[in-house]
Structure 1
Amino acid sequence: MSERTFLILFFAIGILSLSGFTISTEDPPPNITSYTPQLQFACKPPYNSYQFCNTSLAVAARATSLISLLALPEKIGLLIENAASVPRLGIPAYQWWSESLHGVGGSGPGVSFNGIIPAATSFPQVIVTGASFNRSLWYKIASAIGVEGRAFFNVGQAGLTFWAPNVNIFRDPRWGRGQETTGEDPLVAAAYAIEFVKGFQGEDRRRGRTSGGERRELQQRAGEGRSDDIGLMASACCKHYTAYDLEKWGIYDRYNFDAMVTIQDMEDTYQPPFESCVEQGGASCLMCSYNSVNGVPTCAQKNFFQKAREEWGFNGYITSDCGAVAFIYEHHHFTKTPEDAVAVAFKAGLDMECGPYTTMFGPLAVEQGKLQVEDIDRALFNLLSVQIRLGLFDGNPKNIKHGNLGPSDVCTAEHRALALEAARQGTVLLKNHNNFLPLDRNRVSSLAIIGPMAMSHALGGDYAGQPCNPTSVFDGFQSYANKISYAIGCLDGVPCKTRAGFAEAVSLAREADIVIVVTGLDTSQEAEELDRYSLLMPGYQKDLVTTIASASKRPLVLLVTGGGPIDLAFAEKDSRIASILWIGYPGGEAGGNAVAEIIFGDFNPGGRLPITWYPESITKIPMTDMNMRPNLSRNYPGRTYRFYTGEKIYEFGHGLSYTNFTYKLLSAPNKLGILPGFIKAAAPRRIKALQQTNGELDYIYVDELEYCDSLIFNLQASVMNSGDVDGSHVVMLFSRGPKSSEMEGAPEKQLIWFDRIHTIARRSTEISVTINPCEHFSFADVHGRRTLPLGNYTLILWDLELTISINI
């Protein structure tokens, strides 16, 4: 069917069920708090005698018991996101699709804000919280969202399966959904994935890292006991698996794009966040993406699904992105018939389709022998196991763990304070000429706030929900000056297609003591299904900025919104623009307040850019080129700070403060030796051959080493806040390894550790970093094999550099 027909049918079906609950057809206004949906749940009398309702049994036994009771049509009806009810077993319908990217969101049919809970805490967009480089903050945000998600479920306004986080790599600065990610670095994306999943699903972040084998052992042990041993507060879903970062560019769109990815790039860039999300985070869901990878749609990639389950220890369900199964046939033309598309996806290891294709064509696929009942039962086992872990077959939700969460646990003072803190920590000070900021409120009598994003309440970016108390940037400054004036500057908003409105803005700027211009991007410029073609400010926004700069009494402050980089070379060089802050999408909850606090010095900015900011010339490179490594023979500069060799506006990790920092190395080795006993007995053939010919050994494969732990060392340093202002500071440790002709594609440098610390003025803070060279210094070779180069490494810590050699 056509994409339009699919979407109409898809959403029509989706509306019929809301999160597994029946809700009155006469929905009351959002502010009527007496409204109570009629909850429908499984395992209530007389159906609670079934074995799948017995909470004393293991998850596997309960899931298997339920599958044995289902007829084939009932089974197929449970394989889509809008799962059908099974009335004869007392099982209500269930809507799997709920969203919670940076707060409970209204983008999916599983969440409703039309009920007893009319809003949810709106945290900053993920790219902003990524800029905080603060693991504990990420965990707290995810935990708060999970609590609010469970509260929504308990009053019938959401499901318990939420499709977040987005852990894709922000490879190309034009990508419309880059705002949903933590940026371009796989280490950061992986760390965020772990913290989000643990916090959201209710796992204690203090638990140490767990390997895939250890997690499988824990799961097996838990399966032998009670189901609540591995219970979930809510289910997180790592998406979009994998190598997905193009919406619509030229003739290509996400529904038909075939991403050609080398095994080298796959192993050390695209896959690590998903591996960490599963292996260390314990995600209970993976979502396969729309695109193909090397000729095969990802939702039909059996090897991807096997890797997750067999190597990473994945224990959960795999869902398609919405419509992706249909697009295997309709857009990728990978199969000859719709039923073939259903069959190839489920036989590859898919467990659920978001969309109706499976119910439409699944029965025929079974009848034709293309899809076996065993494949369906396997998928159901994975789906039902997650639902059992969530308590969906434990009877009345009010009587189970987390059943006491409700409206009073949403939009709490604690959660709103956390949203404010996240916006503070994620704001990045890009420029501060002559220490123009912070401003002294006692010396500012009038303030002009100008620009198309100054009064906007759409500060959450995409996948935002309904904020508890929406605020704009303009709102945030209300207590900081006696006279505050506003002009939009661009009458048509962010697109700014004419100069109409400039005159009013200039008039206000001439009269004010301080001028703050708020420009940049919104979701009319970058969003799902919307990539950019240019990195310049939209329309006449640049002209607005320079015109105001010419008219104002003093240099102005420029605030830049949006998730993707903008070419700000003109502003960086213009002395009339004293300070530039990137505020991204700081959240509709408290973003405006956070910005005002920073500008007037109530909070010292410490955010760092999570993505390189490129010049406009980067747009000459096709978005469709997935190669991370540069290729000088075709003038291809590579992607991200790890490999990019071209000009930059701002570096990855750039960010200023109102104070200064100096580093001092306290201790670190200068040499590490790999002894013969560290090398596996089966490995030395290549090594001996080189030694016999007096050849120089340039590298060793990580899997050739018997004892990687023997190379682990500690680096200790002190960070001195040499200024007069306290402030948090992001410490980032990079490594630059040796290069040789034999080792293709070594990174220019790569982040190996980061943390956010609080510093006191005129005092030093000590840091200690544990470094495992096998993990932190290695990268994938052209065959995807982890390789540790031998020779001299440069460790870069702010302005401090030290050399460590690794040799046999």
Structure 2
Amino acid sequence: MVDSLNIGQIRGKINIIISFLMIFFLSSCNQEKMAFMDTSLDNEERVKDLVSRMTLEEKVFQMLHEAPAIERLGIPEYNWWNECLHGVARAGLATVFPQAIGMAAMWDDQMMFDIADAISDEARAKHHDFAKQGKRGMSQGLTFWTPNINIFRDPRWGRGMETYGECPYLTGELAVNFIRGLQGDHPDYLKLVATAKHFAVHSGPEPDRHSFNVHPSQRDLVETYYPHFKKAVKEAGVYSFMCAYNRLFDEPCCGSEYLNSLLRDEWGFEGYVVSDCWAILDFYNPGDHEVVENAAQASALAVRFGTDLNCGSSYPALLEAVANGYITEEEIDVSVSRLILARMKLGMFDPPSMVPFAHIPYDVVDSELHRKLALEAARKSMVLLKNDNNTLPFSKNVSSVAVIGPNAHNVDALLANYNGYPSEPITPYQGISRKLPSANVKYALGSRYAEEFPYMTVIPSHILFTDETLSENGLQSEYFNNIDFRGNPEFSGFDPKVDFQWWTNSPKPGVSNDEFSVRWSGYLVPDVSGKYALGVEGFSGFRLYLDDELIVENFSLYHSMTDFKFMQLEAGKKYKIVLEFYQDNNTHPMVRLLWDKPGQNLKQEAIELAAQSDLVILCMGLSPLLEGEEMAVDIPGFFGGDRTDIVLPAIQTDLVKAIMELGKPTVMVLLNGSALAFNWEADNVPAIIEAWYPGQAGGQAIADVLFGDYNPAGRLPVTFYKSINQIPDFSDYSMDGRTYRYFKGEPLYEFGFGLSYTTFDYSELNIDTQVMADESFDVSVLVTNTGSMDGDEVVQLYVSYPDNHMAPIRSLQGFRRVFIPAGESREVKFNISPDQIGLFHPEHGKVVSAGKIHVYVGGKQPDSISLKNGNVVMSKVEILGEFICR
């Protein structure tokens, strides 16, 4: 029957047929007519030939993220939308590394390259495997919208976890190596296309991003908001930029003459620019920027000022824009040529035999080598914040351990956002259990993340029933080979519960995992009366009905969504339940039927477990369900993906206080994506570790650190403030009073801070005391491991300007992560360029002026104590002459 046809398989076969027809068609054409397929010509000639063959309509539709095939020219469809923030995202099985903020905490630029190289291997292998199946949809291509290198200027920003922190220098250095690892170093081909985003001056608030208008000072632009983007162009050769949603100086960033000139004319960027998704809609959408009246004007404005590719659906209006004289076809040709050139550089128009990256085997995905790399990255990302009286590492000769907290056994806290899906994620509870096979290791949730936010788990089968007789547990299931439940199901049966992730496997025999729908139906019979949260996590779309009332509905092509509703339910009562899920050609269908059950005394359960245990490990923090991109969250402390306060939620602090009263050896492990204020815990808990969202191997890495199999050396890439009262308003984009460079208060924990199980001394600082303004200079220092354990040290170089009150308090301008065995020393060298010590000048942008600077080298930021005890050494340097930086 037509209704039961496997639409996804048919689409795949059609794409394969088109590919064969393309080969046949091209081989039958003379070389002169089809010059764009002649690999002996240079790319510019080939691009010019191909664009000349396109109609205006074909050109316009190639400028959409979902570019259709041009069958008459043998061009297959291509979807430009891919993500790989910390692993290949939304494309099924992939190695998942620590979230970007966690990778930044490694302070290891070489490791950033290694991770990106592994990610690009997996991306290439997955792309070619998809292409063999005729799949060319979202998350299946080679153009990746990564990395996010916005400055994490305020801890309230929900997307700050996607960045490399608050420092332009650290961000730039890490971004350069990550981009190089993604794009490769082949002279003719790009391994992937990396995308530096979001350009420019973008970092929240999330709910205002479609209308926000930013007017930063030129000083802040030159010294904070631009340097790392410029470095991505000049040093990494990044091939794509994504423009931001907000306006800058009244111009939408995706339609900014100023930013286009800066990017292309001043910095020499030669790649293409893609809009943030549906950002062009904001140009004319009521209540947003409203700088033009309609889609035609908005699209013309965007293209004229350099936005070549539209993530969204506004650019078809370019046909109207040309007809009305808003833009010319020649201007459109510029953008189309840039896009076609990118695809050529990726080898999409060449035989696979010519493209070196086309032969990466699929078995690199989730390989043992990449798993080890994810573990190493997670270990390196761990920051030891406090360790009074050498509480850590714990002895493994322990009988019983309580692992407590909302992040103790939660996979979401490993994966963060913009993530892939590992085959074996290891939670802290699992990692500690494996570390101590002879001990009695038990887990208790202890508390929810926040008072008004439910802790959702999969509804178990014992309270689900297939029909009203309540004779069989589970739910009836119907699987359809279409997205709207038409006709007869391809498969009918029952599932004990709804907890599914379909990577490349079929949901059921004969059912495509590209386009399908499932209806689960039956009865839910609660065993406790009270206020429940009922919900669904799904990717792409879902609808949940209770007694025929629609209670939850959501649809997202971009990331998994969790939605829920609070319901008052009675114990023993039968509730008819229906869940409909539909998958619209996404690459990672997944769905879970969830609840939060009332009547549980989570705090008391945790206290009782802790009282019976020899030691307690508290896994607290935040969740990617609370902080992230433009989220539908509105509870005390959290709004729209951002935070309205930075304190650890009170419900968690209450639990920590109760546990500490027991007097047990206790450590607190934080899993979160942004800085937290936990003042009571910092004063009262003897040992604290910041673990971020640590990726698939996070639980093992945490256990390795807690029990002494790894010596932590991570450093904070952001300042941990004591309170939001210490910093300016979130919507104020001035850098005054923000980040370690301009904050004059006392932080809870400073940028660059992190402890070790060993100690390091610094000596023999060598540096010229006089330096010409236009010359670089060398710095070297001897670092000695004076403790009893081998370990890494993160050597940090800061520059300050004692005679310039407008300059930052200090700026990081060098770092090295070095391994030093116990009792041994290593010489660490830096070379400081004029650009690194230049400061804003109103006429020349950045200038190195005559005067004094102070250079500090150590394992942390300088202060009187660290200078006195040998953790930091300092030298005064006189700069001679003047130099205008370019």
TM-score for the superposition, normalised by structure 1: 0.82
Cα pair distance change 1:151/1:398, threshold 3 Å: farther
- The amino acid of 2:227's aligned partner reads P
Q: In 2, distance between residues paired with 1:758 and 1:39?
A: 55
Q: In 1, distance between residues paired with 2:449 and 2:830?
A: 51
Aligned pairs (5 A) from 1:212-231: 229-231=187-189
Quote the residue 2:344 is aligned against.
388
Deviation at 1:314, TM superposition (A): 1.5
- The amino acid of 2:198's aligned partner reads H
Quote the residue 2:879 is aligned against.
806
1:63 and 2:71 equivalent? no
Deviation at 1:407, TM superposition (A): 2.2
Cα pair distance change 1:566/1:39, threshold 3 Å: farther
Quote the residue 2:293 is aligned against.
336
Aligned pairs (5 A) from 1:639-650: 639-650=738-749
Unaligned segments of structure 1, at least 5 residues: 1-21, 28-34, 107-111, 114-118, 205-228, 630-637, 675-704
Quote the residue 2:195 is aligned against.
237
Quote the residue 1:466 is aligned against.
421
Aligned pairs (5 A) from 1:86-105: 86-105=70-89
Moved more, 181-190 or 49-58: 49-58
SS at match of 1:478: helix
Deviation at 1:789, TM superposition (A): 4.0
Deviation at 1:445, TM superposition (A): 1.3
Quote the residue 2:656 is aligned against.
545
- The amino acid of 1:422's aligned partner reads A
SS at match of 2:763: strand
SS at match of 1:624: coil
- The amino acid of 2:816's aligned partner reads D
Q: 2:835 aligns with which of 775, 778, 781?
A: 775
Aligned pairs (5 A) from 1:45-84: 45-48=24-27, 49=29, 50-84=34-68
Aligned pairs (5 A) from 1:82-231: 82-106=66-90, 112-113=91-92, 119-156=93-130, 158-203=140-185, 229-231=187-189
SS at match of 2:817: strand
1:750 and 2:811 equivalent? yes
Q: 2:223 aligns with which of 242, 247, 268?
A: 268
Cα pair distance change 1:231/1:160, threshold 3 Å: same
SS at match of 1:324: coil
Quote the residue 2:608 is aligned against.
507
Deviation at 1:479, TM superposition (A): 2.7
Deviation at 1:284, TM superposition (A): 1.0
Offset from partner CA, 1:520-542 (integer Å, 9 cap, x none): 01112210111110101124011
SS at match of 2:806: coil
Q: In 2, distance between residues paired with 1:614 and 1:724?
A: 32
Cα pair distance change 1:60/1:658, threshold 3 Å: same
Deviation at 1:57, TM superposition (A): 1.1
Q: In 2, distance between residues paired with 1:527 and 1:90?
A: 41
Cα pair distance change 1:500/1:622, threshold 3 Å: farther
Q: In 2, distance between residues paired with 1:315 and 1:449?
A: 52
Cα pair distance change 1:457/1:37, threshold 3 Å: farther
- The amino acid of 1:371's aligned partner reads I
- Aligned residue pairs: how many? 689
Q: In 1, distance between residues paired with 2:271 and 2:853?
A: 40
- The answer to whether the 8 Å contact 1:429/1:656 transfers is yes
TM-score for the superposition, normalised by structure 2: 0.75
Q: 1:608 aligns with which of 695, 715, 740?
A: 715
Q: In 2, distance between residues paired with 1:314 and 1:299?
A: 16
Q: In 2, distance between residues paired with 1:545 and 1:666?
A: 44
Q: 1:295 aligns with which of 246, 250, 269?
A: 250
Cα pair distance change 1:355/1:713, threshold 3 Å: same
**Identity of matched residues, %:** 35
1:739 and 2:847 equivalent? no
- The amino acid of 1:567's aligned partner reads A
Q: In 2, distance between residues paired with 1:81 and 1:595?
A: 40
Quote the residue 2:758 is aligned against.
659
Deviation at 1:273, TM superposition (A): 1.2
Q: In 1, distance between residues paired with 2:97 and 2:725?
A: 31
- The answer to whether the 8 Å contact 1:738/1:789 transfers is no
Cα pair distance change 1:398/1:578, threshold 3 Å: farther
Q: In 2, distance between residues paired with 1:393 and 1:511?
A: 66
1:729 and 2:793 equivalent? yes
Aligned pairs (5 A) from 1:179-578: 179-203=161-185, 229-248=187-206, 253-330=208-285, 331-359=288-316, 361-395=317-351, 397=352, 400-442=355-397, 444-458=398-412, 459-481=414-436, 482-491=439-448, 500-529=601-630, 530-551=641-662, 553-574=663-684, 577-578=685-686
SS at match of 1:239: strand
Quote the residue 2:503 is aligned against.
none
Deviation at 1:398, TM superposition (A): 6.8
- The answer to whether the 8 Å contact 2:614/2:665 transfers is no
Q: In 2, distance between residues paired with 1:545 and 1:621?
A: 30
Deviation at 1:767, TM superposition (A): 1.0
- The answer to whether the 8 Å contact 2:449/2:649 transfers is no
Cα pair distance change 1:37/1:480, threshold 3 Å: farther
- The amino acid of 1:128's aligned partner reads G
Aligned pairs (5 A) from 1:707-718: 708-709=774-775, 712-718=776-782
Q: In 2, distance between residues paired with 1:655 and 1:357?
A: 47
Offset from partner CA, 1:747-793 (integer Å, 9 cap, x none): 10000100100011011111111122x22221213556213243332
- The answer to whether the 8 Å contact 1:39/1:155 transfers is no
Q: What root-mean-square deviation, in Å, do the aligned CA atoms of Structure 1 and Structure 2 show?
A: 2.1
Q: In 1, distance between residues paired with 2:364 and 2:83?
A: 18
Cα pair distance change 1:494/1:139, threshold 3 Å: farther
Q: In 2, distance between residues paired with 1:121 and 1:335?
A: 44
Quote the residue 1:580 is aligned against.
688
Greater share of strand: 2
Deviation at 1:569, TM superposition (A): 1.4
Aligned pairs (5 A) from 1:22-37: 23-24=8-9
Unaligned segments of structure 2, at least 5 residues: 1-6, 455-597, 631-640, 859-871, 882-886
Quote the residue 1:210 is aligned against.
none
- The amino acid of 2:873's aligned partner reads L
Cα pair distance change 1:26/1:71, threshold 3 Å: closer
- The answer to whether the 8 Å contact 2:796/2:814 transfers is yes
Cα pair distance change 1:653/1:253, threshold 3 Å: same
Q: In 1, distance between residues paired with 2:302 and 2:700?
A: 47
Q: In 1, distance between residues paired with 2:19 and 2:210?
A: 36
Cα pair distance change 1:619/1:398, threshold 3 Å: farther
Moved more, 397-406 or 412-421: 397-406
Q: In 2, distance between residues paired with 1:500 and 1:493?
A: 15
Quote the residue 1:16 is aligned against.
none
Cα pair distance change 1:604/1:494, threshold 3 Å: farther
